[in-house]
């Protein structure tokens, strides 16, 4: 019997309320996942409204195919590809970052240290290199750099040494349980209530999917495809993502003065920060995976 993996959408109502300003306009759900945000958004659109969704995960695309609504379309692409849409063509862009519960809970995807499975972690398992393949050949210094920079792990060097030693003695790591066990032996102290492998798994997932680079590209693309007064709504789940989003909004919320032409009028700002929202205590109690979420809302200016 095939298992149905469940997903609870984080900040569902808050995100859609912040996103929709005109029910008859076109919107983008750049990270369809299991479609929680898309379905609610569609329920609030007028007959003339449109929703274009993106997702690189084939399982998410298959789920989207179940939506029989002529106003909806799905593209099997990562969210950086939203830049393929026409400039100033949409009234809102939603980015719900991170990993969906079905990806985490399904051991065959290799995202979680809680269930043993192949060490994969690719958002799109039909493309690119798995974590196991990368760890089989990567140099120790590069492994340490990735785990330190993307996982903010202070034992990155010790973990990288353990990975290379294991590779030399018994062959490459192949499963999530093997990696989790190796990390547990290399991490001497840990945060209360947190598995020692948490930061390493986060780091390798972010790296193998180029998540931060894709986020930066997607934010720039969103700025181009948004119409004046169009909304950018982003839900982040860890500090590295949220820092990029916050800095992007701050950067484009300022007038830019060209110092080479001191008497020229400053270039107008392109965004206006509107809100920062965290899940309620009730939502966190019902869905612990929501606890680190931060929703940021910005609006495209007329410039």
Comparing C-alpha atoms, which of 97, 127, 128, 125 is closest to residue 110?
A: 125
Q: Is the pLDDT of residue 109 over 70?
A: yes
Q: Which two tokens stand for residue 241?
A: 């993502």
Which 3 state secondary structure label does DSSP give 20?
coil
Q: Tell me, what's the pLDDT at 7?
A: 65
| Residue-wise burial string across 277-300, b where 16 or more C-beta atoms lie within 10 A, e elsewhere | bebeeebbeebebbebbbbbbbbb
Structural domains of the chain, ranges and CATH numbers in brackets:
12-101+211-300 (3.40.50.150), 124-208 (1.10.150.170)
Among 28-32, 54-58, 109-113, 248-252, whose mean pLDDT is lowest? 109-113
Write out pLDDT tens, residues 128-174: 999 999 999 999 999 999 999 999 999 999 999 999 999 999 999 99
Alpha-carbon distance of 32 to 109, in angstroms, equals: 18
Predicted confidence band of residue 241 (pLDDT cuts 50, 70, 90): very high
Q: Tell me, what's the pLDDT at 113?
A: 82
Instruction: State the Cα torsion 236-201-114-63 to the nearest 10°.
Output: 50
Q: Tell me, what's the pLDDT at 70?
A: 96
Query: Please, which residues bridge with residue 296 across strands?
Result: 234, 276
Q: Tell me, what's the pLDDT at 257?
A: 56
Alpha-carbon distance of 91 to 224, in angstroms, equals: 11
Single pTM value for the model? 0.88
Percentage helix, strand, coil for the chain under 3-state DSSP, each rounded to 5: 45, 15, 40
């Amino acid at each position: 019997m095939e298992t149905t993996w469940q997903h609870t959408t984080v900040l569902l109502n808050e995100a859609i309320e912040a996103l929709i300003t005109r029910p008859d306009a076109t919107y983008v759900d750049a990270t369809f996942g299991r479609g929680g945000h898309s379905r609610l958004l569609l329920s609030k659109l007028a007959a003339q409204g449109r929703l274009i969704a993106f997702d690189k995960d084939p399982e998410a695309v298959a789920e989207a195919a179940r939506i029989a609504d002529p106003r909806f379309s799905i593209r099997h692409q990562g969210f950086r590809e939203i830049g393929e849409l026409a400039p100033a063509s949409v009234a809102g862009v939603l980015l719900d970052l991170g990993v969906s519960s079905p990806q985490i809970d399904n051991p065959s995807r290799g995202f979680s240290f809680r269930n043993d499975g192949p060490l994969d972690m690719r958002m799109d398992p039909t493309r690119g290199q798995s974590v196991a393949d990368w760890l089989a050949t990567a140099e120790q210094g590069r492994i340490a750099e990735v785990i330190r920079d993307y996982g903010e792990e202070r034992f990155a060097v010790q973990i990288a040494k353990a990975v290379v030693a294991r590779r030399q003695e018994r062959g490459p790591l192949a499963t999530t349980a093997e990696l989790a066990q190796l990390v547990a032996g290399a991490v001497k102290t840990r945060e209360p209530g947190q598995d020692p492998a948490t930061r390493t798994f986060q780091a390798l997932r972010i790296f193998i999917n180029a998540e931060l680079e894709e986020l930066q590209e997607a934010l720039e693309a969103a700025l181009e495809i948004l119409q004046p007064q169009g909304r950018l709504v982003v839900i982040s789940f860890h500090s590295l993502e949220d820092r990029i989003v916050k800095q992007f909004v701050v950067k484009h919320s300022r007038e830019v003065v060209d110092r080479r032409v001191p008497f020229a009028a400053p270039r107008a700002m392109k965004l206006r920060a509107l809100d920062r929202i965290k899940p309620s205590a009730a939502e966190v109690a019902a869905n612990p995976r929501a606890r680190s979420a931060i929703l940021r809302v910005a609006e495209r200016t007329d410039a």
